Structure 1
Amino acid sequence: MFWRSVVVKLWFTILLFFSFVLLTLTIFLLQFFQNFHETQAREELEQDTEKVISIINGNDNRSLMTSTIEQITDPSKRVVLVFSRGDYWISSSNDQELESLDINWFYSNEEFKQVLNHEDSTYQKTTLPETDREILIVGQPFENREGAVFVYESLDIVKETTSQTTTLIFVAAGIAIVLTTFFAFFLSTRITAPLIKMRKAALELAKGEFHTKVPILTRDEIGELAIAFNRMGRQLKYHIQALNQEKEQLSSILSSMADGVITFNRSGEMLVTNPPAERFLSLLTYENGKQAGEEATPLELQSTLERVIASEQEEVTQEFHLQGRSFVVIMSPLYDQLYIRGAVAVIRDMTEERQLDKLRKDFIANVSHELRTPISMLQGYSEAIVDGVADSKEEKNELAQIIHDESLRMGRLVNELLDLARMEAGHIQLNIQEIELESFLNKVVNKFKGMTQEKDINLKHDFNLETMIVRIDPDRMEQVLTNLIDNAIRHSDTGGEVQLHVHAVEDQIEFSVEDSGTGIPEEDLPFVFERFYKGDKSRVKKMGNTGTGLGLAIAKNIVDAHNGSIDVHSKRNEGTTFMFTIPGNL
Structure 2
Amino acid sequence: MSFLRSVVGKLWGTIIILVALVLFILTLLLLQYFENFHVNEAEKTLTQVATKISHMLEDYELEEEALTIASEILDSHLANGVIIKDSSMMWLAEGMEDAKQNEAAFFNLIEANKVLSGSQVIKQEKRQSEETIGDLFIVGVPYTIKSGNIGAVYVFQSIEDVEETTAHTKTAIFISATIAIILTTIFAFFLSSRITAPLRKMREAATKVAKGQFDTKVPMVTNDEIGELAMAFNRMGRQLSNNIMALNQEKEQLSSILSSMADGVITINKRGGIVITNPPAEQFLRVWSYQQGLNEEEKELPADVRELFTRVVSIEKEQFADIHIQGRSWVVVMTPLYNNNTIRGAVAVIRDMTEERRLDKLREDFIANVSHELRTPIAMLQGYSEAIIDDIAQSPDDKKQIAKIIYDESLRMGRLVNELLDLARMESEDVTLQLEEVELNSFIERVTRKFNGMVNEKNIALAFNKISSEKLTIDQDRIEQVLTNLIDNAIRHTPENGKVEVKVKSVSSGVQFSVSDNGIGIKGEELPYIFERFYKTDKARTRGRSGIGLGLAIAKKIVEAHKGQISVESKIGHGTTFSFYIPRIS
Higher mean alpha-carbon deviation, 517-526 vs 357-366, is at 517-526
Q: How far 1:294 moved relative to its partner?
A: 3.4
Deviations 1:543-574 (A, max 9, x none): 98x22322333344445555x36464656558
Match of 2:437 in 1: 436
Question: What amino acid is aligned across from residue 244 of structure 1 in structure 2?
Answer: N
Q: How far 1:49 moved relative to its partner?
A: 0.6
Alignment of 1:369 with 2:372, yes or no, is yes
Alignment of 1:348-387 (within 5 A): 348-379=351-382
Alignment of 1:83 with 2:85, yes or no, is yes
Q: How far 1:533 moved relative to its partner?
A: 2.4
Deviations 1:525-550 (A, max 9, x none): 554443222233x2523898x22322
CA, structure 1 residues 529+63, in 2 after alignment: closer, same or farther (shift >3 Å)? same
Match of 1:138 in 2: 139
Asked whether the equivalents of residues 106 and 133 of structure 2 are also in contact (C-alpha less than 8 Å), the reply is no
Alignment of 1:471-482 (within 5 A): 473-480=475-482, 482=484
Match of 2:107 in 1: 107
Match of 1:260 in 2: 264
Deviations 1:456-494 (A, max 9, x none): 3554588999xx775x54433544455456556666773
Q: How far 1:366 moved relative to its partner?
A: 0.9
Q: How far 1:495 moved relative to its partner?
A: 4.0
Q: How far 1:208 moved relative to its partner?
A: 1.0
Match of 1:148 in 2: 152
CA, structure 1 residues 521+202, in 2 after alignment: closer, same or farther (shift >3 Å)? farther
Asked whether the equivalents of residues 263 and 350 of structure 2 are also in contact (C-alpha less than 8 Å), the reply is yes
Q: How far 1:159 moved relative to its partner?
A: 3.1
Match of 2:234 in 1: 230
Give the structure-2-normalised TM-score. Answer: 0.84
CA, structure 1 residues 149+280, in 2 after alignment: closer, same or farther (shift >3 Å)? same
Q: Distance in 2 between matches of 1:97 and 1:319?
A: 128
Match of 2:54 in 1: 53
Q: Distance in 2 between matches of 1:127 and 1:464?
A: 153
Higher mean alpha-carbon deviation, 449-458 vs 266-275, is at 449-458
Asked whether the equivalents of residues 259 and 277 of structure 1 are also in contact (C-alpha less than 8 Å), the reply is yes
CA, structure 1 residues 364+105, in 2 after alignment: closer, same or farther (shift >3 Å)? same
Alignment of 1:531 with 2:533, yes or no, is yes
Q: How far 1:357 moved relative to its partner?
A: 2.2
Asked whether the equivalents of residues 304 and 323 of structure 2 are also in contact (C-alpha less than 8 Å), the reply is no
Q: Distance in 2 between matches of 1:464 and 1:210?
A: 76
Q: How far 1:279 moved relative to its partner?
A: 2.8
Match of 1:187 in 2: 191
Q: Distance in 1 between matches of 2:163 and 2:432?
A: 128
CA, structure 1 residues 18+463, in 2 after alignment: closer, same or farther (shift >3 Å)? farther
SS at match of 1:448: helix
Q: How far 1:580 moved relative to its partner?
A: 5.4
Match of 2:8 in 1: 7
Match of 2:340 in 1: 337
Alignment of 1:123-522 (within 5 A): 123-124=123-124, 126-127=126-127, 130=130, 134-143=135-144, 145-287=149-291, 290-312=294-316, 314-379=317-382, 397=400, 399-431=402-434, 433=435, 435-436=436-437, 439-440=439-440, 443-444=443-444, 446-448=446-448, 451=451, 455-456=460-461, 459-460=464-465, 470=473, 473-480=475-482, 482-483=484-485, 487=489, 494-495=498-499, 499-501=503-505, 503-505=507-509, 509=510, 511=512, 513=514, 515=516
Q: Distance in 1 between matches of 2:445 and 2:352?
A: 45
Asked whether the equivalents of residues 499 and 513 of structure 1 are also in contact (C-alpha less than 8 Å), the reply is yes
CA, structure 1 residues 584+174, in 2 after alignment: closer, same or farther (shift >3 Å)? farther
Q: How far 1:227 moved relative to its partner?
A: 0.9
SS at match of 1:74: helix
Q: How far 1:223 moved relative to its partner?
A: 1.0
Aligned length: 570
CA, structure 1 residues 24+570, in 2 after alignment: closer, same or farther (shift >3 Å)? farther
Match of 1:74 in 2: 75
Deviations 1:230-284 (A, max 9, x none): 1111111111111112122222222222222223233222222222223333344
Q: How far 1:229 moved relative to its partner?
A: 0.7
Q: Distance in 2 between matches of 1:271 and 1:140?
A: 106
What's the C-alpha RMSD, in Å, of the aligned pairs? 3.7
SS at match of 2:329: strand
Q: Distance in 2 between matches of 1:339 and 1:308?
A: 13
Deviations 1:349-381 (A, max 9, x none): 222332222222211111122223333444455
Higher mean alpha-carbon deviation, 207-216 vs 166-175, is at 166-175
Asked whether the equivalents of residues 500 and 517 of structure 2 are also in contact (C-alpha less than 8 Å), the reply is yes
Question: What amino acid is aligned across from residue 376 of structure 2 in structure 1?
Answer: T
SS at match of 1:341: strand
Deviations 1:483-526 (A, max 9, x none): 45655666677346554445454xxx575647477766565555
CA, structure 1 residues 344+171, in 2 after alignment: closer, same or farther (shift >3 Å)? same
Alignment of 1:584 with 2:559, yes or no, is no
For structure 1, list consecutive stretches of 5 or more residues without a partner in the other structure: none
CA, structure 1 residues 81+133, in 2 after alignment: closer, same or farther (shift >3 Å)? closer
Q: How far 1:108 moved relative to its partner?
A: 3.0
Alignment of 1:92 with 2:97, yes or no, is no
Match of 1:19 in 2: 20
Question: What amino acid is aligned across from residue 103 of structure 1 in structure 2?
Answer: E
CA, structure 1 residues 97+486, in 2 after alignment: closer, same or farther (shift >3 Å)? farther
SS at match of 2:549: coil
Give the structure-1-normalised TM-score. Answer: 0.84
Higher mean alpha-carbon deviation, 439-448 vs 343-352, is at 439-448
Asked whether the equivalents of residues 111 and 122 of structure 1 are also in contact (C-alpha less than 8 Å), the reply is no
Q: Distance in 1 between matches of 2:484 and 2:101?
A: 156
Asked whether the equivalents of residues 498 and 515 of structure 1 are also in contact (C-alpha less than 8 Å), the reply is yes
Q: How far 1:27 moved relative to its partner?
A: 2.4
Asked whether the equivalents of residues 125 and 134 of structure 2 are also in contact (C-alpha less than 8 Å), the reply is no
Question: What amino acid is aligned across from residue 533 of structure 1 in structure 2?
Answer: Y
Higher mean alpha-carbon deviation, 123-132 vs 257-266, is at 123-132
Deviations 1:71-122 (A, max 9, x none): 221263110222244x1122334x6777777433333348554334334422
Higher mean alpha-carbon deviation, 509-518 vs 250-259, is at 509-518
Deviations 1:148-170 (A, max 9, x none): 22212123333333333333333
Asked whether the equivalents of residues 262 and 277 of structure 1 are also in contact (C-alpha less than 8 Å), the reply is yes
CA, structure 1 residues 485+124, in 2 after alignment: closer, same or farther (shift >3 Å)? farther
Deviations 1:39-94 (A, max 9, x none): 22222211111121112212465544432321221263110222244x1122334x
CA, structure 1 residues 18+570, in 2 after alignment: closer, same or farther (shift >3 Å)? farther
SS at match of 1:423: helix
CA, structure 1 residues 153+525, in 2 after alignment: closer, same or farther (shift >3 Å)? farther
Match of 1:550 in 2: 550
